[in-house]
Copies of this chain bind each other. A is one copy, B any other.
């Protein structure tokens, strides 16, 4: 029995996928039972890095997802439409789905997984998060016995590349972004990456698997790295931290002084001061890493290339193989594998950011008047914000620069204190407010 693939898209990831499938020597023998039946492309006559019989290429994507010979549809088109509609139509025709499309899954996962469950088909998406890094499948198959407490990831290679260069070179965000664009590490329109939207898609997907519940993308608090300055990176380093864009999904811990519902999740993407000795601190450049913490496993981390044709194709083809292996194991009497399928229907409750308990880093520019640190301290104290360190770091023009790191505080209290501080005569501005891991 051979498994027939309908491949939607022959761009970077599609080409990588076809290359693996056409070159099975030295790989798992099951690969030889998987066959590219049809490939949907926009321009069938374009020169390609991969050799496929021309008659397998078509511009008619609908014909692929409805082709009765095809077992598995591999969607590597990217974007929302026609990807979403094609996936849904393929499911309605009883096809299994492998996709690398984080945007579609993060937005339309509910609709897609509901349809898939009804039709008894798989929707696998290892390639949607962390490129080639095995993380979705380990979460499902190797860590499913755990109660997961948190998933914290560096899941966007572009921002990690920019922050790493800011760290090593001391440059400013805008300059390094421009250079990254020239070098092809950042898109011409960098919004999805630098504003944290791509990371938000990915953490929503990871959380839905780790916490077995659906996540509304609009519930994910999202801040990008545009506000991170060379000054902050330098101060962070002095204080023993590096700045990383973290995507965090975390079960709220009941904190005695701020009781919260422990079934609530924090869902947030923001630049974060990470202690230099933390495992995520040493993840540099375009690499991704996902740290999972659970009971009884403790902390495990998955590290690797977060993007790229080959790595992402590795994830796509491993999903194809996993479906093929399960179908082969079961034969005609196949019932959905309960660890590979996603059947949860409820939405996770997300805690408001004002309830978050975290440490903060803030940088203030103040007039050089006596007692300004006293004023800051008074305002923080009034709002129950206790300070771990206050450093007057020097002068920027006429203004004094003061950096503050708090102990764990309720975000709402910290924000109220900042409002009050912002109104102080002695305070010129608050250029940076960052959370600390």
On whether the beta carbons of A297 and B304 are closer than 8 Å, the reply is yes
Q: How far is the CA of A86 from the CA of B30 in the complex (A)?
A: 32
| Partner-binding segment picked from A183-191, A221-229, A322-330 | A322-330
Q: A145-B27, A296-B314, A318-B141 are in contact. Are A328 and B333 (CB under 8 A)?
A: no
Q: How far is the CA of A141 from the CA of B318 in the complex (A)?
A: 7
Is A368 among interface residues, defined by CB-CB distance under 8 A? Answer: no
Which size bracket describes the interface of A in this complex? 35 or more
Q: Which of B147, B295, B322 contacts A141 (CB 8 A)?
A: B322
On whether the beta carbons of B314 and A339 are closer than 8 Å, the reply is no
Is A353 among interface residues, defined by CB-CB distance under 8 A? Answer: no
Q: How far is the CA of A16 from the CA of B299 in the complex (A)?
A: 17
Contacts of A310 in B (CB 8 A): 295-298
A187 to chain B, nearest CB (A): 21
On whether the beta carbons of B326 and A313 are closer than 8 Å, the reply is no
Q: Which of A16, A297, A311 has the most CB of B within 10 A?
A: A297
A21-49: which have CB < 8 Å to B?
A: 26-31
On whether the beta carbons of A328 and B318 are closer than 8 Å, the reply is no
0 or 1 for each of A298-310: is its CB under 8 Å from B? (1 = yes)? 1111111100111
Q: How far is the CA of A332 from the CA of B144 in the complex (A)?
A: 25
Contacts of A321 in B (CB 8 A): 141, 144-145, 339
| Partner-binding segment picked from A126-134, A406-414, A424-432 | A126-134
A292 to chain B, nearest CB (A): 9
Is A247 among interface residues, defined by CB-CB distance under 8 A? Answer: no
Contacts of A317 in B (CB 8 A): 145
Is A335 among interface residues, defined by CB-CB distance under 8 A? Answer: yes
A114 to chain B, nearest CB (A): 18
Contacts of A338 in B (CB 8 A): 28-30, 325, 328-329
On whether the beta carbons of B142 and A126 are closer than 8 Å, the reply is yes
Is A143 among interface residues, defined by CB-CB distance under 8 A? Answer: yes
On whether the beta carbons of A27 and B303 are closer than 8 Å, the reply is no
A284 to chain B, nearest CB (A): 8
Contacts of A19 in B (CB 8 A): 296
Contacts of A133 in B (CB 8 A): 300
On whether the beta carbons of B27 and A318 are closer than 8 Å, the reply is no
On whether the beta carbons of A298 and B132 are closer than 8 Å, the reply is yes
Is A279 among interface residues, defined by CB-CB distance under 8 A? Answer: yes
Is A334 among interface residues, defined by CB-CB distance under 8 A? Answer: yes
Contacts of A303 in B (CB 8 A): 279, 300-303
On whether the beta carbons of B329 and A331 are closer than 8 Å, the reply is no
Is A195 among interface residues, defined by CB-CB distance under 8 A? Answer: no
A140-174: which have CB < 8 Å to B?
A: 141-147
Q: Which of B212, B315, B326, B328 contacts A142 (CB 8 A)?
A: B315
On whether the beta carbons of B300 and A28 are closer than 8 Å, the reply is no
Closest B residue to A300 using CB positions = B304
A340 to chain B, nearest CB (A): 8
Contacts of A330 in B (CB 8 A): 329-331, 333-334
A328-B335, A329-B329 known, 9 other contacts, Cβ within 8 Å: A27-B147, A29-B338, A134-B143, A137-B142, A145-B318, A297-B310, A301-B302, A326-B329, A331-B335
Show 26 A/B contacts (Cβ-Cβ < 8 Å), sorted by A.
A27-B145, A27-B147, A28-B144, A28-B145, A28-B338, A30-B144, A126-B142, A132-B297, A133-B300, A137-B142, A143-B318, A144-B321, A145-B317, A145-B318, A294-B314, A296-B309, A296-B313, A297-B311, A300-B303, A303-B303, A321-B339, A325-B339, A328-B337, A329-B335, A330-B330, A330-B333
Binding site for B on A (CB under 8 A): 16, 19-20, 26-31, 126, 132-134, 137-138, 141-147, 212, 279, 282, 294-305, 308-311, 313-315, 317-318, 321-322, 325-326, 328-340
